[in-house]
Structure 1
Amino acid sequence: MSDALQATEALINRGPRPPGLPTPDERRRLREVWGATLEEFASALDKDVPDMEAWEAGQAATDPTDDIAYARLLQRISEHLPVTYEPDWAALRRTVHDTPSGKPDVLCDGCAQAIGACERCGLPTTSRPGGRWLHRGTTCTPSGPLTPGQSDSLICPPLQLPPRRMDFPAGPVAVIDYRDGALLAHLSKDRTSDCPQTLAELLVWTHTEGLGAVRLHSRGHHQYPLLVLTGAATPVVGLPLTLNDPIGRLLPASHPALHALNTAGWQPVGRGMGPWSRLQARTAPRGRVTVHLAVQPWGALADAGWELDALTPEHLTRLLARYADTVIVPQGSTATCGSRLMTALRPPKQWTGDVATSKRILAPPVRGALTEAHAPAPPEAPPAHPVARGWDPVDVQCEEPFDWFRDPTAQELDDFDYVVGLDTNFAFTNAAGRVRVGYGPVSPTPENLPDFDASIPGCWYADLSHIATDPRLPSPFTPTGAPPTGPAWYATPTLAYAQRQLRATIKPIKAYLRCGTSGPYLEDWNARLRQAYSTALHRLGIDPAATGDAFFHARDQALVLGDPLDWDLLRLIKATANGGIGKLAEGPTDLERDPYEPWPALRRVNWRPDIRAAIIAAARTELHRKMHLMAATTGRYPLAVLTDCVVYPATRPTPFDLLPPGDPASENTLRSFTFGARFGHVKLEGTASMAWAARATQAGLNPASWIKDPTVAFDDSTEEGPSPCDANLTAPPEPDTSWRLF
């Protein structure tokens, strides 16, 4: 066979060449037209979301086979989409013949199949879904509504919006209310403005008026604006006052309001439109145009940590603007804001400008940011996680806060008539700023490790049962306060405390470690919340550096003269901090999920149960250190501990019986606890009688859980007071709970 014939046969036998990747703009267009998110593409191609976004933006994959799989996915999508070019109508009309019905049919030159003619304009067409003729990329005026679930995103032109104003003159938030027959927008700095009367026009108005806020990191993106609809404004823009989906809490996909938004060029991102939604515009290639929408009558601000439904639109705007200026623009529950604040301060990816092409391209990751979602070690994983399959539920890491109490001794009953509760301000947030986080994946290590290294984040299997602790103090190694009875899994801060503070010898048996790069990932997050908290205190007239009686005097003045909105702001900052830490180990919310099936939260780069465990371990051991020092300097031991609240015996019903209001440098420091407003300082949680505490422990109740806001009142005048477990318990007067906001 000649060389030419051999080359020909080889070319034929090779088969078709795998499809190549289209341009980045076409990649994004195909995905958005198909209605898929980056998360769905990443899951289908077994990629992380940041890698998928970089891939879509034009960066090549490390493995050529990945490019082939990506190209085939895009090719299959393009094959299933309607043709988007203007057809050759003359070619389609070349062959026309009469049908038995007397109406002409048009035959396609390519397949010789009959194509119907539109009754409204006479052009050839292939289908008429929901009363809308599709002319191979063009659309005739519909003669009827779309069928439920039918999307017309393919036939709506993109929005043409002006460039976004980066000075954000209108502020970050707009609360839309209905007054005097028209919608009125309440803006920051107590301003009001006329605004459009439809939801789609309102979304465009937020862009043209310059709503939003500056980026929290130089390599991140600017914050999207928030639009809040009050109960009066919601029906005016075509939305119902209630949702008929109590579980999913979503507006039905067939609702006319969604159809109107889609027709106008807007679509919800993610699951759909609920109490909190993210609406994105289909725009010409200029970048994303996104607006956060909160619908107040759907419960957006009634729960989820906000509890702001009682505020007027003016006060609501003022409070949300203060929160946006000091923390982050609201974009969901307070827990969601706490989680997204982490990634906003340390973006998982950064964009930069290419001087040659004037386009934005992905640059190397931001220093100190989590850039990939990593699976946890089996001991760190919650029971529903895929890696927990086959793992003994007993053999898991249990790093949780304290829940411990003991009966008072006979001497304590004779010497003390009262108990006083001390609560630590932002105990877990304070600990989070010091915790070192591993940026790489976890890997198992061989058994019988030679040494424990406190600088390596991870999960260690070690036996701490040989370490003796005072029975009047909770054990720092377990949440119940009971001493460990054998080997168990511990986070690095727990073993570090045993080694450094208790001078114990640690011999790990095995471990799952993150031996690569590590750093204080939450340091900036802690600093942002600390500054927001300090700003709110200054507005109330409280010096964050004040301690002892000066702090209590300033607090009492603020209760009378301070702005109630600033007290609400303190509460929201605390809810954001605690909720953000909880989001690090967010569990599944789908009740119909199969066992060990991944849930959406696992795709977040900051879904890290190991970080949450390390934070709790650091806060728990730090509290134990303070209690140990308190016992060594004053001889007083706690009766109960719950999370970050400690109950001590006292001779008087005042916290100054424990910590006299003197010179902080000479007295409070020696007693380990300091009264003040700063992170890590303590405040009064409540007081009660010693008899009350003794009866609570006898009934199996933790006094620390009741002393802050008692719902059980014991009758001390009778020999046998009512049991805390009885149903007919008397409630005390409404307590002053403002101090709990610190």
Structure 2
Amino acid sequence: MSELFDAVDALIASRSPLPPPAERKRLRQAHGLTLDEVAAALQVRRATVSGWEAGKTEPRPPERDAYARMLKQLAQLYPANAPVRPEDTAVPETPDVVAVPAPSVAEPAQARTGPAAPIQEPASEDTALRPAAVPHPGATTRPTSRRSPARNAAPVGSPAGATDARFENGPLAVVDVEDGQVLAYCVGGLVRDVPAKSIASLVEWTLSEGRLGQPKLSGPGKDADPLIVLTEVACEYYGLPVTLTQQERLAGRLPEGHKVIKQLVRAEWKLTKRGFGPWARIYRPAQGSERSCVQLCIPSWDALDTRHWADAAQLPPAELARLLGTYAARVMTPRGSTAVTGLELMTALHPPTRASEPDAMGKRHSEHNPGSLGKDPVDCAPCEAPDGHPLLADLPRFHQRTPAEVLVEEAYDWARPLTDAECLRPHLVGIDVNMAFAAGANGLTVGLGAPTHVKNPVFDPKLPGAWLVDLSHVDLSHVKLGKEWGELDSSLLPSPFTPKGERPTGPAWYATPTVAYAVELGYDVAPIEAYVRYDNGRYLDGWYNRLRDAYLATMADLGVGVDMSPADFLAAMDGYRQRDPQLAIVVSAVKATVKGGIGKLRERPRGEGWKPGQPWRALARPTWRPDIRAAVISRTRINMHRKIVKHAAFNGQYPVAVLSDCAVYASDGPSPLDFLPYRDGKPLPGGFKLGVNPGLVKWEGTQSVLWGEGVREQFNAPDLNLARYIKDGTVTDQDTGE
């Protein structure tokens, strides 16, 4: 019988009477209580109490009964018709969700995102449409039906739209179906009823009542469109397949005759050239300055690549909203893959056009936005063009371009045999540069416009471009280190001028940072010709700053701060991903945004029925800029070489392998602290330094020297790049090409 009484008590508590939302706030303020105090007493989040007072959500047991009890007592103390003291209304109110301030970065960066893979150009995607949402007032709210811990339900940091009433529900919502009811899980734990019965009406609801979106990142830019993420159950509800067929996956979209696409057409909605795929954009043509567009993300169609988003697609709706909301707040609302988003972030920070000053008639016009890449694509230089580019259509079909014909700026993939002395050391220790390619972009001057061809130019390290120059005379055994000359063992060093670390044998094309490094090492250069860009600027600075801040803020949430000692940093990095697996996914996604964004600057054709010599879709973008990609990779590789040289000159230690931003050293101990030079806690100036900031290094992994020698012997590969396997020691036949 007692169980029945308990059940009755619980039922009554679930319907504890509450005053209207405005009265709840009045009673709290009348007693001089803050949102934080009430939240602490009820053991809920501050934003939760604010939502109750705004009428966005309603409390559920067990908090509802306690909240009703508090309000009942306050109502007895402060009747509705009683005068209110002036001080009762003076309780300071701050926004429910406060943006995380940008972390301070103590020193400049250098760059990378994963030790194994070079920067690839992702598959072509249509990114031309950039409409903004049309928010409308009015909303329907519902109590949260699946209560998650605040840690999992609320995003870390603020969605960028938190202070904009048009986007009060954040940048996105995860739509799910429970017991026949469609629910939209927004950031901050808000769950809303969705009355839409079709995809077309879901788009209408999102734009008319959703209050979703994100304010523009730059003055001349556009607000981000609302993002709707559909769970598997929601796909079924709206007549979409849970997974794509093999043919649909290859096409990247549903067939044009699918019933959902027909529904959209009847409702006068349009799709971009990408069609209805994992990242579908549904819009109507702009009416004046107003645009109507919603983006869909369908995780079960592989919209969230597991290489970058891990198991995010399998998360419950509230947790997925939290994860994607955190990424959106700190980077931007996802626009597709992390590569697409990385490229879109560049444009969002530097929109191609802006409004002009009023003319004589008081009208404003669209004009070029200084510092941007503009709205029209520019041709690359012939040496910057990848194989198959229309500029190379006249080359013989099987012609292999030489270094004197093509610019090849790629990340390191270099290794050498161990010396006898290194074989006597027990350990191989890998160190990895944090956010290496992002830091390589920081402060880098890149071309903004088209190249100018120059014969016999005088090299200018401040002028971005591609230079045909012979650097074979640069001798690494005798280089300038600051103001002094130093002696090194060049046989143990990779060349800074080629990805494979081989010394050049004659003239070759190089990006400006590579040639500038030859001058820094103390050698004269005499370019034969060049393609330079006189219209230039630090286009990527804002992009770097935003991604750096996103990375550092998320790492700080995971317990890894910027001011830690080397030992504390290594300890904090140990198991940091397990402290909050969702935030660890955000870190991975931020890194992939960096790497993919840089790679997409030279996106190659894939599919599309393309043939060599024909243009492909990406060439129509102003952000198709292989010269900028080359400059970033060049600077990143040079940054790595500079640290290697400083380290070798200081203590005579040389890397045995370098892969992109990971370097492996033979060491007497298993920790980076066993070979990195620190004096009184201070690192070697200009060398490797442990820390979380971009450009500093972390521990990548440790294996034994016996392991390294055994692997090379097993595969009969004395120059096998051990940096590729240093993390966990696993090597397969596929890795070695056997």
Does the alignment reach a TM-score above 0.5? yes
CA distance in 1, matches of 2:230, 2:626: 35
Show structure 1 runs of 5+ residues with no match. Answer: 1-48, 54-158, 714-721, 728-742
Q: State the Cα distance separating 1:565 from its structure 2 match.
A: 1.2
Measured at CA, do residues 256 and 726 of structure 1 come closer, stay the same or move farther in structure 2, by a change above 3 Å?
A: closer
CA distance in 2, matches of 1:355, 1:613: 41
| 1:249-648 map, 5 Å | 249-282=252-285, 284-285=287-288, 287-303=290-306, 305-307=308-310, 308-351=312-355, 361-391=365-395, 393-394=401-402, 395-414=405-424, 416-446=425-455, 448-449=456-457, 451-469=458-476, 470-500=490-520, 502-514=521-533, 516-556=534-574, 558-559=576-577, 562-590=579-607, 592-648=609-665
Instruction: State which drifts further: 437-446 or 276-285.
Output: 276-285
Provide TM-score, normalisation by structure 2. 0.71
SS of residue in 2 equivalent to 1:542:
coil
Q: State the Cα distance separating 1:594 from its structure 2 match.
A: 2.1
RMSD: 2.8
CA distance in 2, matches of 1:258, 1:236: 15
Work out whether residues 351 and 372 of structure 2, in 8 Å CA contact, stay in contact via their aligned partners in 1. Answer: no
Q: State the Cα distance separating 1:376 from its structure 2 match.
A: 1.0
CA distance in 1, matches of 2:389, 2:179: 54
Measured at CA, do residues 627 and 660 of structure 1 come closer, stay the same or move farther in structure 2, by a change above 3 Å?
A: closer
CA distance in 1, matches of 2:734, 2:181: 58
Q: State the Cα distance separating 1:583 from its structure 2 match.
A: 0.4
Measured at CA, do residues 284 and 432 of structure 1 come closer, stay the same or move farther in structure 2, by a change above 3 Å?
A: closer
Show CA shifts across 1:629-671 (max 9, x none): 1011111111111111101010111211112666443xx1347
Match status 1:681 vs 2:682: no
Measured at CA, do residues 243 and 359 of structure 1 come closer, stay the same or move farther in structure 2, by a change above 3 Å?
A: farther
Aligned residue in 1 for 2:220: 219
Q: State the Cα distance separating 1:585 from its structure 2 match.
A: 0.6
Work out whether residues 280 and 295 of structure 2, in 8 Å CA contact, stay in contact via their aligned partners in 1. Answer: yes
Measured at CA, do residues 286 and 407 of structure 1 come closer, stay the same or move farther in structure 2, by a change above 3 Å?
A: closer
Work out whether residues 356 and 364 of structure 2, in 8 Å CA contact, stay in contact via their aligned partners in 1. Answer: yes
Show structure 2 runs of 5+ residues with no match. Answer: 1-125, 139-163, 477-489
Equivalent residue letter for 2:516:
A
Count of aligned pairs: 558
Measured at CA, do residues 363 and 205 of structure 1 come closer, stay the same or move farther in structure 2, by a change above 3 Å?
A: same
Equivalent residue letter for 1:194:
D
Show CA shifts across 1:15-72 (max 9, x none): xxxxxxxxxxxxxxxxxxxxxxxxxxxxxxxxxx99x99xxxxxxxxxxxxxxxxxxx
CA distance in 2, matches of 1:168, 1:599: 37
| 1:9-48 map, 5 Å | none
Aligned residue in 1 for 2:189: 190
Instruction: State which drifts further: 203-212 or 636-645.
Output: 203-212
Match status 1:690 vs 2:713: no
Equivalent residue letter for 2:233:
A
Measured at CA, do residues 226 and 161 of structure 1 come closer, stay the same or move farther in structure 2, by a change above 3 Å?
A: closer
CA distance in 2, matches of 1:161, 1:632: 61
CA distance in 2, matches of 1:333, 1:468: 43
Measured at CA, do residues 697 and 372 of structure 1 come closer, stay the same or move farther in structure 2, by a change above 3 Å?
A: farther
Q: State the Cα distance separating 1:359 from its structure 2 match.
A: 7.8
SS of residue in 2 equivalent to 1:511:
strand
Provide TM-score, normalisation by structure 1. 0.71
CA distance in 2, matches of 1:573, 1:224: 20
Q: State the Cα distance separating 1:517 from its structure 2 match.
A: 2.1
SS of residue in 1 equivalent to 2:167:
coil
Q: State the Cα distance separating 1:214 from its structure 2 match.
A: 0.6
Work out whether residues 304 and 334 of structure 1, in 8 Å CA contact, stay in contact via their aligned partners in 2. Answer: no
Measured at CA, do residues 524 and 286 of structure 1 come closer, stay the same or move farther in structure 2, by a change above 3 Å?
A: closer
Work out whether residues 197 and 237 of structure 1, in 8 Å CA contact, stay in contact via their aligned partners in 2. Answer: yes
Work out whether residues 570 and 699 of structure 2, in 8 Å CA contact, stay in contact via their aligned partners in 1. Answer: no
Measured at CA, do residues 290 and 361 of structure 1 come closer, stay the same or move farther in structure 2, by a change above 3 Å?
A: farther
CA distance in 2, matches of 1:542, 1:723: 35
Measured at CA, do residues 269 and 358 of structure 1 come closer, stay the same or move farther in structure 2, by a change above 3 Å?
A: farther
Work out whether residues 218 and 350 of structure 2, in 8 Å CA contact, stay in contact via their aligned partners in 1. Answer: yes
CA distance in 2, matches of 1:353, 1:306: 44
Q: Which has the higher contact order (CA 8 A, sep 6+)?
A: 2
CA distance in 2, matches of 1:277, 1:692: 48
Equivalent residue letter for 1:199:
I
Measured at CA, do residues 369 and 378 of structure 1 come closer, stay the same or move farther in structure 2, by a change above 3 Å?
A: closer
CA distance in 1, matches of 2:406, 2:537: 25
